Structure formats: C-alpha cells, structure tokens
Amino acid sequence: MRTAKVTRATAETDISVELTLDGSGAYDNKTGVGFFDHMLDQLARHSLIDITTRAKGDYHIDDHHTVEDTGIALGQALAQALGNKKGIRRYGECHLPMDDAQVRCALDLSARPFLVWNVDLPTPKIGTFDTELVREFFTALATHGGITLHVDQIHGFNSHHIAEATFKAVARALRMAVEVDPLTAIIDYESGNLHSAEKAFQRMAREGGAGTVVVTSDPDVVAKADRLVLPGDGAFPACWKALFDHRGIFEAVEDSVTRKGRPFMGICVGMQMLASVSREYEDTKGFDWIKGEVVRITPSDPALKVPHMGWNDLVLDTPHPVLEGIGMGDHAYFVHSYHFRVATPAHRLAHCDYAGDITAIVGRDNIIGMQFHPEKSQAAGLRMISNFLFPAQNFLENSCYLTRVQFCDAQIRPPATQPFIFSRSPDSTSLPV
C-alpha cells in the first residue's frame, strides 16, 4: 500500500498527516480551522486519497501557520507515499465548474515544484477564514510535494465557490496523476498479427483514458506488464516453436500469469496454446493452463469448408467480465481450421455454430482466450478488448468496481497490491488467488 505518515512540530504548530493513495476518499480532518477542514475533506473525497490530519496552531495570532504547515506536511506525505513514482501516470488535469465558479488545474508530479496561480478570491474572508491562505496552502503543497501545479480561474464571483472549485479541481487532477498507469504487453514472437492488434488495443486504451500498450519481445518488459496479450497466426507447432525460440519470453509470461495472477488474453493460436495438447499435424503440448485439446473442425454439413473463415454469431455459455455488454448474436471474425475442445464445460465461455459447436472463447481465473480475432471483429471485438483492459467486475469477490478515470465518482477501486482475478472456476486452486 502506498501510505505515509508525517509529523511536523514547530514553535507555532504541531501537525500530523496520514494518507493512503489507494484509498476510497475517506477523511478525518481536524485542524481547528473549520473552513479549511471542509476544503481538506473535499481534497480527500475527490482525489480518492484517504487523508487524516490533526493540527494545533497559534490561532490567537491567525490561521496562517496552521494552514501553511498542514500544506507542508501533506506535501511531504504525498511525496513519501509516491516513493520512486514508478509506473504512475504522473500528469493530471481537471476542468471543474461549481455554480458561478470554473477552475482549471493541470499538474505534474515531477519533483520540480512550481506554482502558477491565476485565482482571484474577491473577498478577504470566507466566514472567519482568510482567503489569501488558499494560495499559501497550495504553495506549500506544491513546494514540498514536488508538484508543478498550474491553477487557473476561468469564471467566478463567489469566494466560497471559487475556493471549493479550486480544491476539487486539484483533487481530481491528483487522482489522475497518482494512479498507476497500466502496461499491456502484446508479445512479439514473429507469429502473430501484431499491427492490427496493436492499433485496436491502443485505441481502446486511449478511449479508456489510461494505459500504455506496447509490442515487445523483451522478457523484462513482459515481466513488468500488468496485462499480457499473446496473438498467434499459422499452425500450432510452428507457433509453439517460435515462442520457445525467443528465450525467456515464456518463462516471463508463465511467472506473470500463474504466480502473479496478471490478466492474460490469447488470440487465435495464442488461445489454442492454453490447451493441454494440440492434434494439429502432430501432437504438440500446450501450456496446459486450461484443460482440453485442440482438434480439427469437422462440420456435419460437407458443404461447409475448412478453414472456417468469416463472420459468425457468438453464443454465450458462461458469464465473464470480458463479455460485459456482449449479447447473443453479436458476431466475430474467424480464420481457423482447429478449435479448442475444453475438458471442463464451465471453461467454455462462448461458442459458434458451424454445422456443429466450435469453441469461440475460453476462460478461467485471470486467463481468457479467443479463437476469433477481436481486433478485426468491429464493435463487439473492441468492446471485449476494452473490457479486458478496464474490467468492471471482480468475480472472485462477487463485487464490482470501476477502474476508468472517467468513472471516478464511484469512489471505489481495487487495492493496488491485489492481483486482478477474472473468475473462480471449479479447479481454480491451481492458480494463486
């Protein structure tokens, strides 16, 4: 967990701050300055950063030292919780309206502190709170948090609304910046349709508002990736040989998927390699991650040709987060002569009819495979790619969460240290959960 606790004691103040970056927006702020507590509550709530503050200050003079020193301690705690900042989005922005007020914030967790402040609070006080302290707080936060912080007031005449819009805009920009930027690796072993897969995954990552997609044959990059995609075109034995000719790739994939529980998608032959064995040309062992065998398609209608090539309707068999929003009859694009005959019916998520059932999608735990090409399957395929990148449901806990920045009002997110598990199946104990 990315957490921090900072205490600061001076001749004027005694401050303690605790925060959790991967929180739910919980807050408990008691600084002795009522309006400031209200603003800190909004900062926590809209950033989804849990914040607890306690402060004692020289209130008999004014609130300046209390507000400024709280900003210093909060900035230090933020920097401490971020650590080396590895894998975070780093940049954040928000354009936020509140009644008459409209405030824009852009920030960079760069370790290069700088404040650009174009905010005009028209009254000297909000209740008993000195409005000039809003700037003092953000100056301290940016300086000690290592933040390049730009805040611009677009509209507004009510000081309360302007101040609150400012705290909320900064909070939402912070939320974006501190999030871990997920890396999806499309594995290049010279046997997959990489270009179209890369374009489709990058498009959906971009539309989802987060995530980096790379094509790689580097085992180190594969090991660091949060999600893995294994395409595959051609014959099973040739793909299998090509994969293992690239030293270290399979070992990195196996470790990520079976030990770390990271989501994996196999496409076409990449899906078939999940099986125990393939019967194509010769018996070739598979990963054995989903029990079953890859066998030749044998349509009962001799007029139907093999390979099975073209569009076919999907028949859904087993619910799955990647199938969210996919309906009976949605179609996908197939090009194959062999298909996956699963040993456990629950592992067949969807099939199609080609004068007999053909397995279209398999899945268990954090693993899913598609016989068709989702990157070529228009709206349905892109939806499944998006669901894989941004899953909306954790079957293991039978609970839902939203991971896209756009859906931040849910104020729910999975713990950063918890591996994502797609679904529990009857024999899921062979994989860590």
Please check whether residues 251 and 299 belong to one and the same domain.
yes
Please check whether residues 174 and 200 belong to one and the same domain.
no
Pair of tokens at residue 98:
């509140």
Instruction: Judge whether 263 and 197 are in contact, CB under 8 Å.
Output: no
Convert the pLDDT of each residue in 294-313 to its tens digit: 999 999 998 999 999 999 99
Please check whether residues 413 and 309 belong to one and the same domain.
yes
Convert the pLDDT of each residue in 199-250 to its tens digit: 999 999 988 866 789 999 999 999 989 999 999 999 999 999 999 999 899 9
Can you list the positions of beta strands (E) in 246-324? 264-267, 277-278, 284-285, 292-296, 308-313, 315-316
392 falls in which pLDDT band (50, 70, 90)?
Answer: low
CATH number of 164's domain: 3.30.230.40
Number of structural domains found in the chain: 2
Task: Quote helix, strand, coil % in the chain, to nearest 5.
Answer: 35, 30, 35
* Spatial separation of the C-alpha atoms in residues 57 and 59, rounded to whole Å: 5
Please check whether residues 199 and 248 belong to one and the same domain.
yes
Please check whether residues 235 and 136 belong to one and the same domain.
no
349 pLDDT more than 90: yes
Please check whether residues 208 and 350 belong to one and the same domain.
yes
| Interval 81-98 mean pLDDT | 92
First-to-final CA distance of the chain: 18
Please check whether residues 82 and 106 belong to one and the same domain.
yes
pLDDT the model gives residue 201: 95
305's CB contacts (< 8 A; 6+ apart) are: none
Convert the pLDDT of each residue in 229-238 to its tens digit: 999 999 999 9
Please check whether residues 306 and 373 belong to one and the same domain.
yes
Please check whether residues 366 and 222 belong to one and the same domain.
yes
Q: Establish whether 400 is a catalytic residue.
A: no
Which residue out of 268, 293, 347, 351 is catalytically annotated? Answer: 268
pLDDT the model gives residue 86: 81
396 pLDDT more than 50: no
Task: Give the residue from 151, 178, 205 where a domain finishes.
Answer: 178
Average pLDDT, the chain: 89
Q: Establish whether 373 is a catalytic residue.
A: yes
Task: Give the residue from 178, 209, 240 where a domain finishes.
Answer: 178
Q: Establish whether 60 is a catalytic residue.
A: no
Closest by Cα among 356, 384, 383 to 370:
384
* Spatial separation of the C-alpha atoms in residues 407 and 412, rounded to whole Å: 9
Please check whether residues 215 and 333 belong to one and the same domain.
yes
Please check whether residues 299 and 161 belong to one and the same domain.
no
Which residue out of 105, 293, 373, 408 is catalytically annotated? Answer: 373
Amino acid at 384: M
171 pLDDT more than 60: yes
Query: 79: domain range?
Result: 3-178
> Cis peptide before 307, with omega less than 30 degrees from 0?
yes
pLDDT the model gives residue 218: 95
pLDDT the model gives residue 210: 66
In terms of Cβ atoms closer than 10 Å to its own Cβ (0-12, 13-18, 19+), residue 224 is middle
Task: Give the residue from 178, 208, 225 where a domain finishes.
Answer: 178
pLDDT the model gives residue 333: 96
* Spatial separation of the C-alpha atoms in residues 49 and 19, rounded to whole Å: 7
The model's pTM: 0.66
Please check whether residues 159 and 192 belong to one and the same domain.
no
pLDDT the model gives residue 422: 35
402 pLDDT more than 80: no
Instruction: Judge whether 356 and 304 are in contact, CB under 8 Å.
Output: no
